[in-house]
Structure 1
Amino acid sequence: MSTSPDILQDFGSLANVRIGLSAEVRAQGVHALNRLLAHTMAIRDAYKKAHWQTSGATFHQLHLLFDKHYGEQVLIMDAIAERVQTLGGVTFALAQDVVDESSIARAPRGRESALAQLSRLLDAHETILLEARPLARAAAEMGDDGSNDLIVSQVVRSNELQSWFIGEHLAAQSGKAQ
């Protein structure tokens, strides 16, 4: 238990919630979803950085696209965090959590070209998708239909669509099809 009287629930512990899933299934779901949450926080931040620092001939359309995708990632992030709480877990919430957990590459501090921004975002989407699909299957196999539905309907579908948009912009920027 926590050494601080202000901590209501230690990270890594499970609250006793009655949602028809065993503690083992809920613990596995919390771990998997927190990893997806860290990735989602990382890509959200990458989109905001790109939004603030985009430049060039496609500035306006990329500026708007990056902000739109940022907002969509915020919604996904919130849905994942709520699912973690529903399972009785404690969510990642801090920048250090993202650094410790996500394998999405951090962008440099400097301003990048539109091509570099688009490529970095496309790589980030692929990281999320490569991890999300097996996690969705595992959730389904364990009977965690709520987590499976969230991962498939929000994480996978949204990241696939955003990846497609980014890939199309990347193809236009580089002058070749993806």
Structure 2
Amino acid sequence: MAVALKKNQVADASVAPRWHAHAREIQKFGTVIEDLPHALGANVRVEMVKALNQLLADSITLRDMYKKHHWQVSGPTFYQLHLLFDKHFGEQVEIVDTIAERVQLLGGVTVAMGGDAAEMTKIARPPRGKEEVPVQISRLLEAHKLIIQSCLDLAEAADKAGDQGTNDLAVSDVLRPNELQSWFLSEHLVEMPLILDK
């Protein structure tokens, strides 16, 4: 049944949501804001933002790999690994956010979309399908190793550039949690008999 509306029952178009908005970018990816109240010069910030965005893309990939393996794990260690992978995923969410905020603080633009992170990451893409537990763990360990080395390189570069904030982030907020997660994972690959021989 069609309802006829009187003219005064239709809202003015100026209060309608403007949801078809398209505009130019206000800051290009790979640039930093020139005039910031920050002790570091723009050239240093450009280099730090570039390295941080690479670390961010790799961390986004690792975070998502943890969720993939959380969903797809199976076998006798299902329960333990299902919980561990989800715990590590949550910790990686925090790491990703911390890196992204540092990029923004330095006047840069963060890599943010999954597709963009997938194009930038140095971590090999796993197949869409399900893999055996040792392969899942091995993939995660390889990703951690790459990120740990990136942290060491970034910390050294930041120290030389006088960027103590990025140096601290690379070591305290990214390196140490990734080392700890690597340790938890690697212990699952130790060959240990379930029953001792007499």
TM-score (norm 1): 0.92
Separation in 1, partners of 2:183, 2:82 = 17
**Counterpart residue number, 1:100:** 119
Amino acid corresponding to residue 13 of structure 1 in structure 2: T
Q: Which of these residues, 183, 193, 196, is aligned with residue 164 of structure 1?
A: 183
Task: Give 1:70's aligned residue.
Answer: 89
Write the letter of the residue equivalent to 2:97: D
Larger Rg: 2
Alpha-carbon distance, 1:172 to partner: 5.0
Contiguous gaps of at least 5 residues in structure 1: none
SS class of match (1:13): coil
Counterpart secondary structure, 2:190: helix
What is the total number of aligned residue pairs between the two structures? 172
**Match of residue 31 from structure 2:** 13
Name the counterpart of 2:100: 81
* 1:36–1:128 CA contact under 8 A, matched in 2: yes
- Residue 12 of structure 1 aligns with an amino acid whose one-letter code is G
Residue-by-residue CA offset, 1:59-83 (whole Å, 9 max, x unaligned)? 0000000000000001000000000
1:55 aligns with 2:86: no
Q: 2:163 is matched with which residue?
A: 144
Matched AA of 1:27: V
Correspondence for 1:122 = 141
Cα 1:5–1:14 shift into 2, 3 Å:
same
Aligned residue type for 2:171: V
Is 1:132 the counterpart of 2:186? The answer is no
The answer for unaligned runs of 5 or more in structure 2 is: 1-21
* 1:35 match: 54
- Deviations 1:111-145, CA, capped at 9 Å, x for gaps: 11111100110000001111210111110110100
Paired with 2:193 and 2:67, the residues of 1 have a C-alpha distance of: 22
Read off the aligned partner of 2:51 and give its amino acid letter.
A
More helix by share: 1
- The one-letter amino acid of 1:148's match is N
How many Å apart are 1:166 and its aligned residue?
A: 0.6
Q: Between the two proteins, what is the percent identity of the paired residues?
A: 54
Deviation, 1:7, is 2.1
Query: Which position in structure 1 is the counterpart of 2:14?
Result: none
Deviations 1:5-32 (A, max 9, x none): 3422111221132110000110011000
Distance 2:88 2:189 in 1: 15
In 2, the alpha carbon distance for the partners of 1:61 and 1:101 equals: 32
Residue type of the alignment partner of 2:29:
F
